[in-house]
């Protein structure tokens, strides 16, 4: 148990370090990108400044058409300034959105890595089952604090495996089928029992839990990977 605790603590610490460095890197990259974009955007008043220069350098323009043209150019400059300002806002929003996506991706990545390491540890050490209670009337099984609703056939399969575990027996697929169906073992097919075990695992839902709880022993059969003293049947 201390080794597992130490392993989990190390995983959490390494995960926190990766998250910290990742967030810092993302902030720096996005900040540099934002500064680069905003510095390279043209000045919003550049167009207006050119129009004003036209007015100053061409003060001899007197005809109505020429004045009207300069007014249109001036209005275009104002429109350009407003559009550029809106572009700056759009770029800022996109940068915020990309920051959120990158941070979420980083958090998900670290979470997946931590879960994979944890699952690998569990697969190596197995599931620690402190209690396993089979409720026939309620068609449910309670594993530690988890409740699983089972079909009648899945519950029968689990009950047979639990009784065999209390007797330190390993059952083949044919033996499981014989106990449940009441027929002679010689008349039962190995595949039928294997199908029952598969349906039990599917009923438990969580693949990791089911695979580690109902273990397959090569060339021998199936057995519950729990202690005899934790099994209760009501």
Per-residue pLDDT, 127: 58
Q: What mean pLDDT is reported for the chain?
A: 75
Q: For residue 71, is pLDDT > 50?
A: yes
Q: What is the pLDDT of residues 1-29, one digit of tens each?
A: 444 444 445 655 665 676 667 677 777 87
pLDDT of residue 6: 47
Q: What percent of the chain has pLDDT over 90?
A: 6
* Rg, the chain, Cα only: 36
pLDDT above 60 (res 136):
yes
Q: How far is 117 from 123, CA to CA, in rounded Å?
A: 10
In this predicted structure, the answer to whether residue 124 has a pLDDT above a threshold of 60 is no
Give tens-digit pLDDT for 34-55: 777 777 766 656 666 666 676 6
Whether the CA torsion 186, 188, 194, 198 is positive or negative: it is negative
Q: Which two structure tokens, joined as six digits, stand for 62?
A: 């007197």
Q: Judge contact between 132 and 162, C-beta under 8 A.
A: yes
Q: Which residues contact 153 (CB under 8 A, 6 or more apart)?
A: 180, 196, 199
Contact 221, 196 (CB under 8 A): no
Domain range list for the chain: 2-125, 132-233
Helix (H) or strand (E) holding 222: strand 221-224
Pick the CATH number of 132-233 from 3.30.565.10, 3.20.20.140, 1.10.3720.10, 1.10.10.10: 1.10.10.10
- For 133, the 3-state DSSP assignment is strand
Q: Check residues 106 and 175 and name the one with the higher pLDDT.
A: 175
DSSP string, 32-45: HHHHHHHHHSPPTT
pLDDT band at 94 (very low <50, low <70, confident <90, very high): confident
Please state the pTM of the whole predicted model: 0.48
How far is 233 from 218, CA to CA, in rounded Å? 28
Q: How far is CA 209 from CA 132, 148, 182, in A?
A: 13, 11, 29
Average pLDDT over residues 167-176: 89
Q: Long-range CB contacts (< 8 A, 24+ apart) of 6-9?
A: 7/117, 7/121, 8/118, 8/121
């Amino acid at each position: 148990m201390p080794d597992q605790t130490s392993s989990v603590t190390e995983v959490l610490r390494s995960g926190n370090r990766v998250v910290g460095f990742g967030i810092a890197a993302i902030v720096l990259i996005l900040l540099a990108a934002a500064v680069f974009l905003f510095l390279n955007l043209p000045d919003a008043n550049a167009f207006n400044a050119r129009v004003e220069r036209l007015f100053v350098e061409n003060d001899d323009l007197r005809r109505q058409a020429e004045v009207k043209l300069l007014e249109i150019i001036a209005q275009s400059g104002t429109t350009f300034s407003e559009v550029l300002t809106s572009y700056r806002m759009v770029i800022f929003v996109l940068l915020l959105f990309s920051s959120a996506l990158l941070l979420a991706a980083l958090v998900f990545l670290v979470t997946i890595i931590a879960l994979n390491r944890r699952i690998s540890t569990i697969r190596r050490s197995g599931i620690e089952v402190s209690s396993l209670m089979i409720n026939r009337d309620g068609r449910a099984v309670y594993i530690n604090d988890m409740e699983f609703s089972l079909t009648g056939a899945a519950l029968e399969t689990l009950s047979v495996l639990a009784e065999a575990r209390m007797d330190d027996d390993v059952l083949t697929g044919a033996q499981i089928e014989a106990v449940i169906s009441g027929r002679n073992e010689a008349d039962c097919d190995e595949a039928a029992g294997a199908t029952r075990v598969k349906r039990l695992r599917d009923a438990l839902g969580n693949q990791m839990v089911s695979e580690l709880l109902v273990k397959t022993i090569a060339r021998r059969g199936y057995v519950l990977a729990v202690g005899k003293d934790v099994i209760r049947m009501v």
